[in-house]
Every structure is written in C-alpha cells, then in structure tokens.
Amino acid sequence: METLSSDLGNLAAKILQVLQENCPRKSKYGNDMKQKQDLISPVCCLYKHTRGIPTDRGAISMGYDAFRMLIRGTDNSHALCLHLCDGSSQFHVYSKKGWVSFCPDKDALIVTVGDQTQAWSGGLYKHVLGRAVFKGEDEDSISMAFLYSSPPNATICCSKTRKGKTLSLGQQAILAIISTLVYHVLVYFYKRF
C-alpha cells in the first residue's frame, strides 16, 4: 500500500506541475499557497459499494449522495484527487453548479481538482468532488480516492516556467554509450584493486 501511495503521490505531483505551468492567471494569494494546509501527507480513502440496491431507491439515494459529497468534501483540503474505480459503471462529478456523470474506461484513472488548486489558479480550475457508481453488480465492489496536497513550503507560480534543454535521440544514444563505457571502466578498476 505504501508503494501504491508513493506512486500515486509522484503522479499527482507531476500532474499538479503541468497544471501550474499552464496556468495563465495569478493566484489571489500571490506566489505562496496561503490557504489552510490541514492535509500535508496524502490521504487514501477506500469506499465499499454494496450490491443489490433497487433502481427506484438508487435514484433517490443519488440526491442524498450529492448533498453528502458536497458537505463531506470540505473536510479535507487537497490540491488533486486521483480516483481508481476499476469496473465502475458510472462516475459522478459534483460541483457547486451541479453534477454530471460519465462512463469511464475500464482501467481509467480519474483526476479531480481540489480547493487548493482552485485557490492558486485564481478560479481557472474549479474544485469538484468525484464518486464512482457501481450499478447492476453481482458482488460488492470497492473504489479508491487518493487526496494529494502539495507541501506547505511549495511555491506556486502560475506563469510559464523556464524549460530545460531537451536532448535529441542521437544525444541520448551518445549519452547511453558513454555511460556504459564509464560503468565498465569503473567495474574494471573495482575488480582490479
């Protein structure tokens, strides 16, 4: 579980970096992230979805779920949420303006934006909450949500960042050959002495 959490944290950090690089607006907080930082370490939430809910009761519970998600979603401040919901029949996204549902692919990783990202983007990216929905399943199912917050000392810059030099394929091949030669020389001296 720690490996999965670490991998998801690294992925979320990369996604957040891409969002920051492509954000043309300035944060209303300046360059520092000055909102509540209750959540420093990532949080992994596992949800159990029970089978056998009647269709009419399921439709009624969707309205309650929307309210519950909007209320519960304010508990954990986060920048991004990664949803793993393998085999879900639908995915619902809730915002202040309403909700929308779609059918994700089988192995989809769904990313939703949190309140921290909305704050530093100046409202360009909107905070939404997501929930996997399993309909017509013969057995109980689980889904996972991974809440990621950027570190409290992270500076958020919404302007275009300076990009490093990219290496061509030929340069990468030369670098690989040189690295291999250096490795063999080091091994030779290590065995020799």
Return mean pLDDT, the chain. 74
Q: What is the pLDDT of residues 27-81, one digit of tens each?
A: 555 444 444 444 456 777 777 777 665 544 455 455 555 545 554 555 678 888 8
Mapping DSSP to helix (H, G, I), strand (E, B) and coil, where does residue 41 land? coil
Separation of CA 167 from chain center:
28
Report d(CA 39, CA 59) in Å as an integer: 33
Q: What is the pLDDT of residues 126-156, one digit of tens each?
A: 888 888 888 766 777 788 888 888 765 554 4
In the predicted model, is pLDDT for residue 110 greater than 60?
yes
Mapping DSSP to helix (H, G, I), strand (E, B) and coil, where does residue 156 land? coil
**111 or 67, greater pLDDT:** 111
What pLDDT sits at residue 50?
Answer: 73
**H or E, element range at 67:** helix 55-72
Question: For the whole model, what pTM was predicted?
Answer: 0.60
What pLDDT sits at residue 178?
Answer: 94
What pLDDT sits at residue 32?
Answer: 44
What pLDDT sits at residue 163?
Answer: 58
Sheet bearing 43-49, strands edge to edge? 43-49, 141-148, 80-84, 109-113
What pLDDT sits at residue 180?
Answer: 92
What pLDDT sits at residue 179?
Answer: 92
What pLDDT sits at residue 152?
Answer: 59
Q: What is the pLDDT of residues 154-181, one digit of tens each?
A: 544 444 445 567 888 888 999 999 999 9
- Give residues with Cβ within 8 angstroms of 2, minimum separation 6: none
What pLDDT sits at residue 66?
Answer: 52
